[in-house]
Amino acid sequence: MIRSPASTSLSRQKLAIAMVGLPARGKTYLARKLSRYLSWIGQRPAVFNVGHYRRLRFGAGQRSSFFDPADPAGSAARAQVAEEALDDACAWLRGEGTVAIYDATNTTRERRATIARRLEGEGHRVVFVESICHDPAIVEANVRATKLESPDYEGVDPDEAVRDFRARLSLYERAYEPIDEDALRFIKIIDLGRDVVLHRIEGYLPSRIVYFLLNVHAQPRTIWLTRHGQSASNLHHRIGGDASLTRLGAQYAGNLRTFYDEQWRLHGEIAVWTSTLRRTIETARDLPVDAVAWRALDEIDAGVCDGMTYEEIRVSMASEAEARAKDKFRYRYPRGESYQDLIERLEPVILELERIRTPLLIVSHQAVARVLYGYLMELAPEASPFHDVPLHTVVELQSQPTMTTERRHALGPRVDLPHKFRASP
């Protein structure tokens, strides 16, 4: 294959993303979300949050005067921590990292020029992501939802904290120069995705980042994950297949309907997604909405092992069972999939999950529910095969801008598996 020198060097370049924007514009939220998404598409990202460095070095209790550009001591201290975070971002990209997200205000042209010079000088591609909010309601919600929770204002009266934070904000506003430098690559996100401006954005990873940022929002909402009701394959401890529900599985479908009605009264209409396999469709059949059936939500493809029990695999394909036990995340069934493959297959589902704002119930399968749970709970992709998602249980995940909380509803009926079938190889 002939490669042009330009494309070869581009593909090897690592990526630095530098956030831009006034405080309370959701930069840290976007940085965190982006980092999680990038790690789920196989990158090694890390976030370097300058506020975090500031708190480590100078303590959390700094008041607005510390942020006054006219205060030489405050300015020197802030420049010092900004440099430390940038040094660490560079070190990360020199080592194992593939993406560094530099999370700071970076609100002046001078600052952005320094960042671009430094990172491009080390051979990396730099993309600035600026978050602009014209809508005062978004800023207000941001201040209330994140700043009052921040360690900067721990133990401070909320009204006093809001007053101080507004003073800090107006200091930044005075010096703020929105990004418009022709030489830089940038993405401007206005009012959390209502408008997006792209400048000199090209290439695979930056394009995927744009696509992700187009879909992301900060509205709190609830997602319920469940596996299908017990199927005939579950009963006989066989993996895969396309079996129907058992009597107990059908009972679970009924319990799920009751649960759905209760949640509807609290949340309003709840969208429902299933896989295209019989057992999830039957589980959702009695719900009072039309479910959307996604092929991408089908269970992990066990390839030549589809329809076998774990015991049969252990006996007749011992080396496969061993390989899976050694690295369950990367192990790919012959002519089937690995968890790593499954994550890739689920990417459109994940993007749609980010996009929709309504409450959502997903009726899927063990491996799929584990992956979605891991993503929503911000856990490492490699841990996916080991999350506990039992049958006949709904996992309720409530996402807030700063965290996701979890509650489990064991709806029954109970379907305890004999121990030897409980854990797969």
Catalytic residues: 103, 133, 228, 299
* Angular region, 82: left φ>0, alpha ψ -120 to 50, beta rest: alpha
Beta bridge partners of 271: 360
Please, how many CA atoms are within 13 Å of residue 342, restricted to the half-sphere of its CB? 31
255-259-261 Cα angle (round to 5)? 115
Q: Which of 366, 371, 384, 396 binds ligand F6P (CB under 6 A)?
A: 366
Please, how many CA atoms are within 13 Å of residue 268, restricted to the half-sphere of its CB? 4
Residue 321 contacts residue 313 (beta carbons within 8 Å): yes
Min dist. Cβ of residue 329 to ligand F6P (A): 10
Min dist. Cβ of residue 298 to ligand F6P (A): 10
Q: What is 212-276 written as a DSSP string?
A: HHHH-----EEEEEEEPSPBHHHHTTB-SS---B-HHHHHHHHHHHHHHHHHHHHHS--EEEE-S
> Which lies closer to ligand F6P via its Cβ, residue 242 or residue 347?
242
Q: Which of 138, 189, 302, 321 binds ligand F6P (CB under 6 A)?
A: 302
227-229-235 Cα angle (round to 5)? 110
Q: CA-CA distance, 87 to 118, in Å (whole number)?
A: 9
Q: How far apart are the first and last CA of the chain?
A: 40
What lies within 8 Å, CB to CB, of 61 at 6+ separation is 152
The reply on whether position 346 binds ligand F6P by CB under 6 A is no
Min dist. Cβ of residue 237 to ligand F6P (A): 7
Alpha-carbon radius of gyration of the chain: 24
Phi, psi of 221 (to 5 degrees): -160, 170
Binding mask 40-69 for ligand F6P (x = CB under 6 A): ------------------------------
The reply on whether position 313 binds ligand F6P by CB under 6 A is no
Q: Which residues of 383-398 are buried (b: 16+ CB within 10 A; e: fewer)?
A: ebbebebbbbbbbbbb
Q: Which H or E element spans position 323?
A: helix 318-326
* Residue 243 exposed, middle or buried by CB count within 10 Å (0-12, 13-18, 19+): buried
- The residue count for binding ligand F6P (CB under 6 A) is 11
The reply on whether position 300 binds ligand F6P by CB under 6 A is yes
> Nearest-CA neighbor of 376 among 346, 410, 332?
346
> Which lies closer to ligand F6P via its Cβ, residue 15 or residue 313?
313
Q: CA-CA distance, 204 to 7, in Å (whole number)?
A: 11
What residues between 202 and 241 interact with ligand F6P by CB under 6 A? 234, 239-240
> Which lies closer to ligand F6P via its Cβ, residue 240 or residue 249?
240
Binding mask 373-392 for ligand F6P (x = CB under 6 A): ------------x-------
Min dist. Cβ of residue 417 to ligand F6P (A): 9
The reply on whether position 297 binds ligand F6P by CB under 6 A is no
Stretch of residues binding ligand F6P (CB under 6 A), selected from 133-141, 364-372, 392-400, 406-414: 364-372
Min dist. Cβ of residue 240 to ligand F6P (A): 5
Q: Which amino acid is at 92?
A: W
> Which lies closer to ligand F6P via its Cβ, residue 206 or residue 381?
381
Q: Which H or E element spans position 195?
A: strand 195-199
Q: Which of 100, 104, 245, 367 binds ligand F6P (CB under 6 A)?
A: 367
> Which lies closer to ligand F6P via its Cβ, residue 215 or residue 424?
424
> Which lies closer to ligand F6P via its Cβ, residue 203 or residue 390?
390
> Which lies closer to ligand F6P via its Cβ, residue 246 or residue 366?
366
Min dist. Cβ of residue 249 to ligand F6P (A): 12
The reply on whether position 251 binds ligand F6P by CB under 6 A is no
The reply on whether position 320 binds ligand F6P by CB under 6 A is no
> Which lies closer to ligand F6P via its Cβ, residue 263 or residue 384?
384
Stretch of residues binding ligand F6P (CB under 6 A), selected from 102-110, 178-186, 268-276, 365-373: 365-373
Min dist. Cβ of residue 51 to ligand F6P (A): 39
The reply on whether position 343 binds ligand F6P by CB under 6 A is no
Min dist. Cβ of residue 306 to ligand F6P (A): 8
> Nearest-CA neighbor of 380 among 28, 36, 29?
36
Stretch of residues binding ligand F6P (CB under 6 A), selected from 91-99, 163-171, 262-270, 362-370: 362-370
Interface with ligand F6P (CB under 6 A):
234, 239-240, 299-300, 302, 365-367, 385, 424
